Each structure stands twice: as C-alpha cells, then as structure tokens.
Chain A
Amino acid sequence: MRNAIRLTFAAAALSLALCAPGASLAKDKKKDDSAAVKAARDFDKNPYPSTYKPYPGAPTALIGATVFDGAGGRIEGGTVLFADGKVVGVGGADLAIPAGYTRIDGRGKFVTPGIIDAHSHLGVYASPAVQAQSDGNEMTDPTTPEVWAEHSVWPQDPGFSRAMANGGVTALQVLPGSGNLMGGRSVTLKNVYARTIQGMKFPGAPYRLKMACGENPKRVYGAKGRMPSTRMGNFAVNREMWIKAQEYRRKRDEGKLESRDLAMETLAGVLDGEILIQNHCYKAEEMALVVDMAKEAGYKVSTFHHAVEAYKIGDLLKENDICSAVWADWWGFKMESYDGIPENAGLLYKAGACVVIHSDDENGIQRLNQEAAKAQGDAHRIGIDVPDAEVIRWLTLNPAKAIGIDKLTGSLAEGKMADVVLWNGNPLSVYSRPEKVWVDGALLFDAQNPARRPVSDFELGQSGEGDVK
C-alpha cells in the first residue's frame, strides 16, 4: 500500500456557506462600528462562489431495473423518473410515466444514486503525480486553517473522468492532506469537468475543515524540530488553537476585532456550527480524545476519516452521532493502521453507527462499490448480514450526510438532484460497471457512446486520448 503512505487526510468541514449569513454574529451592532470592525465581522463567507450550472438533460424514465434508493430502499422492477435536473418520482412498475419522457430499459440492470466519495484528493494531488502538482499539504505550519483546498484543485485532473466512468462517482469531497493538525478547508465538487474550479463547486455545500490525528503531523513537524513531535503535542497545539478561536469569536461578537484573520475565521466558523469537522484519525483512543476535545472547545466532529479502529468504539461513535469513513480493508501500511480489520464496517453497522466507505485514492475512487461489497462479504462471514440496499447507503446517503449535502443529493427522492447511475449488473459485484451516469439529470457518461466520455485537457493529443480507460 505504498500509495497509502502518502499523507492522507480527512478534512472536512461542512460549513455552509449557505447557512443563514451572519447568523452567529452579535445581535446588537453598534452604529459606530469602525470600518475595520465591520470588515472583520461582516466579511463575505462565500467569496469564490460556485458557478456550476446543470447541463441540459432530457426527461428520463429508467424502467424495470432493480433500484437501490440510497436510503436503504430496494425496488425490484422499479421506475425512476427525473426531469429538469431533479428526481421526479421513484416507484414500482405501476408508477405512471408522464408524456415526453425518454424511456430507458433497465431490465436486468441496477440503479443507484450517484456514488459520493467523502474523501478524495483528486485535483490537489492530481495525475500525473509530479512535484509541480503536489498541492495538498501546506506543511509549513502544523495548523493552517486559513488554506482552502479549492485554491489547489486542478480541474483537469484525468482522475475525475475515471471516477465517473468506472466508479459512478458524481460528487466528492476534496480535502487537504493530513500533514497538518488543521489542514485547511475542503471543497465539495460535482464530478463535472469545468474550466474553473468554481465551475465544479457543488452549489449549496457547506465548508468543512480537515483535521488530522496521530502519526502524520507529529512526524512532519517532529522532523522539522518543532512542535508537535508527539501525540500529546498534537493535542496541545490543537487546544491552543481552539482557545484562540474562542477568544477571536468572543471579540468578533463583541465588535472588538480590528482586523481579519483567515485562520480564525475558519475556526470561528467551526465553533459557530457552520463549518463541519472532518477528522483524519485512525485509532480508537485518539478518536475518543478528539470527541472530548470537541466538547471542551465547543464544536462537533462530523466524520472520522480512515478510522481503522472505529470498530473498537462503535458505541461511542453512535452516541456522538459521528460517521466513520473507512476503507474496506486497508491495513498494515503504517503503525496506526496495524489494528485494521476487514470487518470494521460490518461491526460499525451492527453497533448502529454511521458507516461511509471512502477512497482517499485515485484508484480506489473507481471501485468504491467493490470496496463496500468486500466489507459486506466480510461482515457476512461473521454473521452480520447487511442488505445490499444498506450497503449502497454507505456510498451514497451516508457520505452525503458526512459532508453535509444529504438534503441535496445522496438518495433517489423526489426533488433531490438527479445524480443517478445505471449499472450493468449489481454494483456489489466485481463484474459490474456503470453503464450510464447522470449528474443533475444530464447524461455525462454513457459506456455505449464515446461522445459521452469525458477527456481532460491534459489527455488531448496524448497516447490513448479518448481510450476507454
């Protein structure tokens, strides 16, 4: 697992740039606020707004397939209707199909919501993986909540196309790496190529902050001869930051800030509940400590990423409503992964905790469905039977919840984004692949039509341009 040794991360901050603007600000604004105070308080929380617009799509009826709705539902011989970018209806063979819908025969095939990867570095560690494109870890300071992954993403990463064509991925969270304790804000993308990163940004997605436990930060900074060089150092540095953030927030709310501070704005946003924490953390004891640190500082962890030891503390994770984003069976590539087991997801499911299967890898993102199926098989062998429809939730609605977009996508429900995959067989089989992928109702991949196969700028004129990949 050499590629896994690369620093990874979980950054997540679900913050809604769209949440009620200024909701956390002090209520009693003084009329004589100085310009500086106003600037520090009333800044634009969404200065790089999404310009993504859904592409045109025909009203479509998928008929006769096995439908997994992403929320645990399964319909045999189902009908899925979508139009104008939204899901119009999901039901059985008796669901009426309005006039004007393009009918697609799905018999023998399967339909799921678009797959969502809650943990990707596409764009920030793009292919080719040359130093010039290594933009995921700002390892010049152990806490860099001021950096934003969206300022590193290369929207022409060829990896986006593979994730769609082979993995059915329609949305993903791109995170900073895990070299830092606070790695920066992540960005949620529609998996749709665009000329600009704003053109890929998922409209309505909250911001999130990536944090990291354990080996990586202490190794990176210990090697530089500075704090943290130990796990206790990791916590001390984090706690100092949260104390500063609390102070910053207090001053902000009292109208006493004289200047802006990008790092503190992010941390204050976390304390406000607008920016969601995505915490790379492998080990049970560290996750438990982070849960208490969050309570001490006054924020909530949305998701632990990697979480190879989550199975040891499923009860604690359930109690605190924290999702675990895990691999099926990555193991042994570093000390903190030594207690990973393939039954991790199954045991978490049994404990009633939120399970997300993530990739953290430009290859793994192409096979998230297979990873989930592996976890299902390993659970089955110890007597934990997870229905297919629940396993699909690990790839759709649960990651949507983990990154704060579950009201918008992640399941096939009326009014949600028409992010849909038609598979040529059960997606929980190694033999199945996406046949068609729609994002907001637009057909953006069709295995039977090379004209519906994305090719990034980088691959034009290269060997194998437009190849099936």
Chain B
Amino acid sequence: MTAPRKFAGIAVALLAAAAVPAAAQDMAITNARLVIGDGSAPIEGGTVVVRGGRVVAAGADVAVPAGVPVTDAGGKWVTPGLVVAVTDLGLVDVGAVDESNDEEAKKARFSAALDIAPAINPLAQPIAVSRAGGVTRAAVAPLSTAAIFEGQGAVIDLGADPGAVTAARAFQYVELGEGGAELSGGSRIAAVAELRNALGEARELAAAPAGSRRDDVLLNRGDALALVPVVNGKQPLFVHVERAADIRMALALRAEFPQLRLVIVGASEGWMVAGDLAAAGVPVLATPLNDLPARFEQLGATQSNVGRMAKAGVKVSLGAFFDQPRYAPQYAGNLVALTRVPGATGLSWDQAFAAISSGPAEAIGMGDRFGSLRPGRAGDVVIWDGDPLEVTSGVLKVYIDGVEQPLSNHQTRLRDRYAKPLTGDLPKAYDW
C-alpha cells in the first residue's frame, strides 16, 4: 500500500533478489487479476506481497520489497485460498471404510469434550486433493457422537507439512433440529432439555471450577468442562439447524445464556427468519444450494436462501456441504448465476467469492488471521487459469503461509499413469 510504483517495485525486486536471502515464506505475485476476498472488486494489474508467511500488502499500487521472489501471474486470477467451514477433511481417508474414518464415535463415552485436533492426518488424500483445488483452510467438524454435542472442531491448514492445526478446540458443535431430536431421545423437546441442562452444568462448573459438583449432574466432568468456554463466550457454538422455527429457538438460547457466540450452520430456511438473524448479528454458514424438501425441516429450501439472507443483512457465507471442499467455487458461482434468474436472489461475484474465503473465516472468528489478502492475514494465495468460480477453471499454484505447495496426489499420479492407457514393454506398475 505504498506509492504507485508497481512496475518499479517489480524491477527492484528482481535486481535485489540475489542480494538478500529471502525467507521461505517470502513471495510476491505481480500482474494479477487480484481478488482480495473481502467482497471488494477484483483489481487489474494487482500485486500481493507476502513476508514471513503473512500478507504485507496487496493491491494495484504495491511495490515488491527487495529480496522477495516474484512470480508474474501474466494477468491471471489470483485470490486468497478458499476457506471451507464444517467439513471432515483430515478425519477421513475413505468415507465408507470405517477403519479410515474418524468422524464417527457413536460409542464414545465423551461428547462435548472430544477434541478433533489430535486425529487430523495431514497426509490424508482428501487434504491433498482439496489443496489442489485451491482450498487452504478448513474448519473440521463435526464428529458423529451418541449425543447432541459433537465435539470441539479444529481449524486446519491444508499445507503439505505436519503442522496442520491452525487452532485446536476452535469451536463446539451441537446438533439440534431433526438430528438433535434423534440423538437425544426422539424429540426436539428432549434435545433442547439436554442442551439447556448441559450449558447450565457448565455454568455451575465455571462458577466453582475447583469445587465439588452436585451429585445429580448428567454430564461427566470432561464434557462439562469443555462447555465452560462455550457458556462464557470464549468459544463459538456452532448450531446445526435447518427449520425456521429451529433457528429462532437457537437464537432464543441467548436470553438464558447471553454470552453464547452462536454460529448457525445449515439454515436451509434461513431466508424465512433473515430479519431475526440480521438483528442478532449471528453468522450463518449456509449449505449453498439446498432447494429440495429433503427433510420436513427443509420444506422452504431454495437456492435463493443465501442471497436473500445477504440482502437482509445477515452475515452469511457458505459451508456445511458434506461433499468435496473443492466444490466451493462451483457453489459460489451458482449463486452468481441466480442474479440472472427472474425472481431469484443471488450474490454478486465479489460477494460470492467472499462467501468462500473471508466469510467463513470471520464466522469461525479468525477473519483477522486468514481468508483474505488484507495485510496481516496468512499468505494463503491461489493462482487460477481462469475465473475461479467458473467450472472449467483450474488451479495453477497454491501457497499456504507463503510457501508454494505441491499439487500432486493420488489422483494426479493415476492421471499421469493412464494418460496413455495401453501398456508398453512393462506393466503399468513399473510406470511411476
């Protein structure tokens, strides 16, 4: 954000590159169609500079400091890495192979106390495949437990290194609505009773952490302790609800527990209570394109849900799609498509991209750490071969914390092996 000397800056950088050893996390990308990711419009001829793994400047008139290696994007799209909230990345190798899948703990004796972070496997192929799709951060949750509390989610980066966990115990996740009813005895009434009791026990424990507990508590100490930061507002509480009435019910919890930092997840009928959500200032991670009455709690589902909430002033972004995180741009692009459908409500391109980058980061409470290319954020940057929301586009380069990432994985290796399908002088197994 210095004086308008962008071209001069590049020249200086090139000249000085040999003089000052750059840190591994220093890099700059110039000549980009630059997307900051905060809802602002793309910048032609933009530059982003990352030092020590963090963005120091991004914009049209940014000079590259001496010694920072420069990549010329050649006018291509450059964006922050995608942020996908509420996913099972790192917990699963293959969904239906139980032994490889840590997202179910139906027989666990704990629920709220369960901490996802230690199980994250940075080498799981879904992480590598998602990384190659431009996803750089994820909020991993929920577990499927025997109780409405599904444990403490983790925020991870998708870097090809062992240090995946950005923040452990970043949020608690609770299942209400039809799912919560099933888990708590068969009715929403039971789910709400479970939740209120649990938060109440946590509040008692918070008031006297060293004291002995009542002898009629329902939660074990671990689960109750895990809910202390929830009830005192230090840890966000992600609440999965779809039905309009369930969203209102979740918002009403704050009358009894005023410090709750709610994040609504799913919210198929969010548009029907958009005014309440906007007034409450509660972030929403909406499943993007639900438009079928897949359940009775989703009878009002429409693809215009996100657009209508955004128009009403709700802090809404995309998340909670339990398929591949790399589909995030396609979902965002579909919301842009709606702006051309009579009677539908979508998002502008700029809003749509923010809904898969800074939006989810802010919903997690980490918008100051990643999710956009504003100064101070992590140097998570993607170079694309076309409009990142367009389905025919692909990823050229990915940086996480300023470090260029490998994009090969099981899929790309198979692709390379079978690009020529016939075997030669040796079986395919020797072609690697």
Residues of B384-432 whose CB lies within 8 A of A: 385, 389-394, 410-412, 414-415, 418-419, 421-422
Residue A35 at the B interface, CB < 8 A? no
Q: Is the CB of A468 within 8 A of B341?
A: yes
Q: Is the CB of A340 within 8 A of B411?
A: yes
In this assembly, does B344 line the interface, its C-beta being within 8 Å of a C-beta of chain A? yes
Contact of B392 with A333 in the complex, beta carbons under 8 Å: no
The docked-state distance in angstroms from the alpha carbon of A19 to that of B300 is: 44
Interface string of B246-266 (1 = CB under 8 A from A): 000000000000000000000
Pairwise interchain contact A374-B293, C-beta atoms closer than 8 A: no
Chain A: interface secondary structure?
Answer: loop
Answer whether residue B343 sits at the interface, using C-beta atoms and an 8 A cutoff: yes
Per-residue interface assignment for chain B, residues 48 to 64, with 1 indicating a CB less than 8 Å from any chain A CB and 0 otherwise: 00000000000000000
Does B324 have its Cβ within 8 Å of any Cβ on chain A? Answer: yes
Nearest CB on B from A417, distance (A): 26
CB distance from A106 to the nearest CB of B (A): 16
Contacting residue for B299 out of A338, A340, A462, CB 8 A:
A462
Question: Given A128-B296, A334-B97, A429-B391, A329 and B324 touching (CB < 8 A)?
Answer: yes
B304 touches A430 (CB 8 A): no
A412 and B211 CA atoms in complex are apart in Å by 79
Please name all residues of chain A whose beta carbon is closer than 8 Å to the beta carbon of B125 when the two chains form the complex.
332
- Look across to chain B and name the residue whose beta carbon is closest to the beta carbon of A425: B340
A430-B334, A430-B337, A463-B244 given as contacts; is B391 within 8 A of A373 (CB)?
yes
Shortest CB distance A384–B (Å): 9
* Structural contact, A331 and B129, CB atoms closer than 8 A: yes
A1-B324, A429-B390, A468-B302 given; A128·B293 CB < 8 A: yes
Alpha-carbon distance A166/B340, docked complex (angstroms) = 12
- We find that the number of chain B residues with CB closer than 8 angstroms to chain A is 55
| In the complex, B8 has a CB within 8 A of chain A | no
Contact segment of A23-31, A169-177, A309-317: A309-317
Q: Which residue of A lies closest to B92 (CB)?
A: A332
- Does the CB pair B291–A166 fall under 8 Å? yes
Q: Is B90 an interface residue (CB 8 A)?
A: no
A382 adjacent to chain B (CB < 8 Å): yes
Task: Give the shortest distance, in Å, between B273 (CB) and chain A (any CB).
Answer: 11
Q: Give B389's nearest chain A residue, CB to CB.
A: A430
The reply on B126 being an interface residue by CB < 8 A is yes
Cα(A363)–Cα(B412), bound, Å: 27
Residue B215 interfacial (CB < 8 Å): no
Cα(A74)–Cα(B194), bound, Å? 61
Nearest A residue (CB) for B344: A468
User: Roughly how many angstroms separate A433 CA and B418 CA in the complex, as a whole number?
Assistant: 34
Bitwise, A401-438 to B at CB < 8 A (1) or not (0) is: 00000000000000000000000110011111100000
Say if the beta carbon of A469 comes within 8 Å of chain B.
Answer: yes
Contacts of B334 in A (CB 8 A): 367, 370, 430
Q: Quick check: B330 and A370 within 8 Å, CB to CB? A: yes
The complex places the Cα of A15 from the Cα of B412 at a distance, in Å, of 39
Kindly state the separation between the CA atoms of A51 and B269 in the bound complex, as whole angstroms: 38
A99 at the interface (CB under 8 A from B): no
Name the A residues within 8 Å of B411 (CB-CB). Answer: 331, 340-342
Q: Are A431 and B291 in contact (CB under 8 A)?
A: no
Pair A450/B392 contact, Cβ less than 8 Å: no
* Bound complex: CA A315 to CA B323 (Å): 31
- Verify A338–B94 contact, CB threshold 8 A: yes
Q: A381-B394, A433-B340 are in contact. Are A462 and B324 (CB under 8 A)?
A: no
Task: Point out the residues of chain A lying under 8 angstroms from B20, CB to CB.
Answer: none
Name the one of A3, A332, A381 contacting B94, with C-beta atoms under 8 angstroms: A332
Write the chain B residue with the least CB distance to A430: B333
Within 8 A of A (CB), among B87-101: 93-97
Is A159's CB within 8 Å of the partner chain B? yes
Q: Is A75 an interface residue (CB 8 A)?
A: no
Distance, CA A313 to CA B298, complexed state (A): 42
Interface flags for B298-311 (1: CB within 8 Å of A; 0: not) read 11111110000000
**B41 interface residue per 8 A CB criterion:** no
When C-beta atoms are compared, the residue in chain A nearest to B392 turns out to be: A377
- Given the complex, which residues of A lie within 8 Å of B422, measured CB to CB? 315
Which residues of B are found within 8 Å of A335, using beta-carbon distances?
Answer: 94, 96-97
Among A159, A367, A374, A467, the one with the most B-chain Cβ atoms within 10 Å of its Cβ is A467
Q: How far is the CA of A331 from the CA of B128 in the complex (A)?
A: 13
**In the complex, chain B residues whose CB is within 8 Å of the CB of A1:** 95, 322-324
Given contacts A129-B294, A370-B330, A469-B303, contact A351 B421 (CB under 8 A): yes
Q: Are A2 and B293 in contact (CB under 8 A)?
A: no
Find chain B residues with CB under 8 A from A330 CB: 324
> A430-B337, A431-B336 given as contacts; is B295 within 8 A of A129 (CB)?
yes
Q: Inside 8 A of A367's CB, which chain B residues have their CB?
A: 330, 334
Whether, in the assembled complex, A464 has its beta carbon less than 8 Å from a beta carbon of chain B, the answer is: yes
Is B118 an interface residue, CB under 8 A from the partner?
no
Given A431-B337, A469-B302, A314 and B392 touching (CB < 8 A)? no
A195 to B77, CA, bound (A): 50
In contact, B342 and A447 (Cβ under 8 angstroms):
yes
Contact A5 B302 (CB under 8 A): no
Asked whether A457 is an interface residue with its Cβ less than 8 Å from the other chain, the reply is: no
Q: Which of A3, A4, A340, A374 contacts B391, CB < 8 Å?
A: A374
How many angstroms from the CA of A362 to the CA of B301 in the assembled complex? 14
From residue B394, how far is it (CB to closest CB) to chain A in Å?
5
A5, B98: Cα distance in complex, Å:
12
**What is the bound-complex CA distance between A425 and B392, given in angstroms?**
15
In whole Å, how far is A223's beta carbon from the nearest beta carbon of chain B?
13
Check: B289 CB closer than 8 A to any chain A CB.
yes
Q: Give the residues in chain B near A464, CB-CB below 8 Å.
A: 299-302
B100 and chain A: residue at smallest CB distance = A335
* CB–CB B341/A2 < 8 A: no
Q: A127 within 8 Å of B by Cβ?
A: yes
B344–A463 contact, CB under 8 A?
no
20 contacts between A and B (CB under 8 A): A5-B96, A128-B294, A311-B421, A312-B418, A312-B421, A331-B129, A332-B126, A333-B95, A334-B97, A335-B97, A340-B411, A341-B414, A367-B334, A374-B330, A377-B393, A380-B392, A381-B394, A424-B340, A450-B343, A468-B304
A interface residues with partner B (beta carbon < 8 Å)? 1-5, 127-130, 158-159, 162, 166, 215, 311-315, 329-335, 338-343, 347, 351, 362-363, 366-367, 370, 373-374, 376-378, 380-382, 424-425, 428-433, 447-448, 450, 458-459, 462-464, 467-469
Knowing that A5-B96, A458-B293, A464-B300 are A-B contacts, what are 9 other residue pairs whose CB atoms are under 8 Å apart, sorted by A's residue number? A311-B421, A341-B412, A370-B334, A429-B390, A430-B337, A430-B391, A464-B302, A467-B302, A468-B302
